[in-house]
Every structure is written in structure tokens, then in C-alpha cells.
Structure 1
Amino acid sequence: MRLTLSATALLALAPTAAFAVDYMNAEQAARQLFPEAERFETREWLLDTGMLQKLVEQGLKPRSAATGSHVTARLAWRGKELLGVLVADQVLGKFEQISYAVGVAADGRIRGVEILAYRESHGGEVRLPAWRKQFVGKTQAAPIQVGEDIANISGATLSCTHLTEGVKRVLAVFELARKGGMLNAV
């Protein structure tokens, strides 16, 4: 018996394309966003109920129950001077998680946003430097909202929106940490 498959049948049997791409890890992002840093200190921040409530009051969506109150921060130091903090996080794109990192200078201004891993089949344009550059220099006082001070990318609306919300949340967590004394040298 001879089996003949058409080109369409072969395509249907072919494995689906893998869209997941890891671009860098959080340590690499920290070195890229804080190249003048002499050392990085990893700290685990535990956000108490009051801090989480403050985030909700600012209209920020809480993270997942598993990670909502824990934040891993990498403090960038040059000698005894705190240069800033890098926080790696994840948001849901359309169907899959997008891993990203935000570098925040000690004065509360965003130094940069890096996409660590992108797993969606569409919307990868959020990795383009021109789109990510829109966040640089923004503080918590900025709207940081798609359609206001952050441009949307057609075909990547959910990725743009969710990443923007995530960056805004990281900036708010940084401000809570700063006010709560979590940035002090140990």
C-alpha cells in the first residue's frame, strides 16, 4: 500500500512554528541599563497588604496570586551610590506571558525597558527600540498609558497595553520601595 500526501496535508502534519524567543536574562538587562554599575545587589521585596492596596488605589492590576506580593529587584551600585533598580516582571500578551525588565534610576525616572522573552506569534514589534524608548525619562507623574503618552502598534494592541500597564506597575512599586526605605544600603 502506498500512501501519498498532498502538500496541504504535509503542512497540516508539520510541527507548528515556535514563536518563543528568549532575548536576554534579567542580569544581562541590568548590565545593559546600568553599564556604569560596579555591582548589583539582589533583594526580595515583600509588599505588605497596605502597599498592595495603594497599587490598587492607583488603578493598577495586581499581579498573579503566586507573585503578587513578592518582587525581585536588582539594585545597581557604583561605590556607595545607588544608581537605580532593575525589576523583571511578566505580563500576559494575548495568550502567552511576555517577560520584560524595567530599569528605574534612583531619582524615579525610567532608564529603559527591555523585553527578555516574547512568546506570542504576533506583536513582537514591542521589542523595537523606538517603541520601548517612549518610556525613557518618564516618572510616576506621567500618564504612562497607551493612546496618551505611549503609542499603540497596530496588530500588537494587547502587548502594548499590557506591557505599558506592567511598566507603570513597576514604577509604582519602585516608589513604594523608595518611600518604605527598601532602597537603603545594607
Structure 2
Amino acid sequence: MNVIRWTAVLSGVTAACATASAFAVQYLSVEQAQQTIFPEATAFKEQGVQLSAEQMREVEKLAGLPARSANWRVIAAYKGDTPLGYMVLDDVIGKVELISYAVGLNPDASVRQVEILAYRESHGFEIRNPAWRRQFVGKTAQSGIALNGGIANISGATLSCAHVTDGVRRIAAMAQVALPAKK
């Protein structure tokens, strides 16, 4: 009788452990994010951006955060020969796992759209809600990209909200410093 109970308990523990690591969800590929952020685009051109030491200091000053990386994966969007803006890919830590996301930027470095590409945490996936992500639209590094300072927090997703918000602010600052501006 005890053997049967322990077998049931161990089966339950094994099932719980198996599901605990099964929270990773891939929502969009890079190509799908491009089309979602820039549906009118006819071409996308990847262009890596490497910041100089001076540019990294400027990003830190604008964002109020460490620049974190000199190298950025940037994809320019075009309609014919007309630039529409940029999509920047990044990863931030949620609580313990990475959140992969893309930030669409207008040519003036304001945020056009934020898309969550992959979410690997067991909690906090609410950051994928369109209403939460829409809060970033039109903002720049200096105008309201801060948790509880233009971007609302989500209870139960505090770390994910904070880290994605900081990441978007850092990307907006990098865009202002390093990407060609077109008004």
C-alpha cells in the first residue's frame, strides 16, 4: 500500500517538475515581428549597430541606465526607397529567464510598437497584452518610458514590466544616439 502511495506522489512530483519548465512560449519569429510592426514595408535590411565608447556614455545619460551592450541587432524597414523606421531586437531577464522582444522605432527614434517574441517565465506573461504594450507608443527616451512614470506596472509581473520598460528606454536612447534621424 505504501509503495503505491509513494509511486503516486513521485509521479505527481515528476509531472510538476516537467510542467514547471514548460512555460516557454515563442509568440513571433523575427520575420513575423517585422511584418507586424511594419505591415506596409516592402523590404527589410539588417544593419548591425556598434556603439563607440562616447555613444555608450550618451545612451547611459539619455536612458539613465547602463548602456549594457555596444552591439545591437537592428533591422531597417523600407517602403520602396523610403525608410519607415527600425526594429531593434533585444533580450532582458524577467525574473530568472530571458524575455525576447522587438521594439519598432519611427525614424525620429520614438517608439512605434513593442512586440514580445518569446516569454520563458511561469508568471508575468501579461506584458504581452496589447494594452500594456501600447503605453510605449510615441514615447522617446526622455518622455515617459519609466515604470510608474508613464508605463503602468502589472501586479504579478513587476520584474518583467520593469526589465522590459528599462530595455525599451535603453533602445530608444540608442536609436536617438546611433540611428539616422529622419523627421
> Is the TM-score greater than 0.5?
yes
CA distance in 2, matches of 1:118, 1:146: 19
Q: Provide Cα deviations, 1:113-149, integer angstroms capped at 9, x if missing partner.
A: 0000000111000001110011111123312111111
Partners of 2:57 and 2:67 within 8 A in 1: no
How far is 1:150 from its partner? Answer: 0.4
Q: Does 1:36 align with 2:18?
A: no
Q: Provide Cα deviations, 1:94-115, integer angstroms capped at 9, x if missing partner.
A: 1011000000011222111000
**Following superposition of structure 1 onto structure 2, how do residues 1-186 of structure 1 map, counting pairs within 5 Å?**
3-6=3-6, 7-14=8-15, 15-17=17-19, 18-58=22-62, 59-63=64-68, 68-178=69-179, 181=180
Higher helix share: 2
CA distance in 1, matches of 2:5, 2:66: 50
How far is 1:20 from its partner? Answer: 0.6
How big is the alpha-carbon RMSD for the aligned residues of Structure 1 and Structure 2? 1.9
SS at match of 2:113: strand
SS at match of 1:112: strand
CA distance in 2, matches of 1:47, 1:5: 60
Q: Provide Cα deviations, 1:4-41, integer angstroms capped at 9, x if missing partner.
A: 13543321122431111111122211111100011000
How does the TM-score come out when normalised to structure 1? 0.88
CA distance in 1, matches of 2:108, 2:50: 22
Partners of 2:140 and 2:173 within 8 A in 1: no
SS at match of 1:137: coil
CA distance in 2, matches of 1:79, 1:10: 58
**Counterpart amino acid of residue 173 in structure 1:** M
CA distance in 2, matches of 1:16, 1:49: 45
Identity %: 45
Q: Provide Cα deviations, 1:64-83, integer angstroms capped at 9, x if missing partner.
A: xxxx1111111001122110
**Counterpart amino acid of residue 107 in structure 2:** A
CA distance in 2, matches of 1:23, 1:51: 32
Unaligned runs of 5+ in 1: none
Tell me the matched-pair count: 177
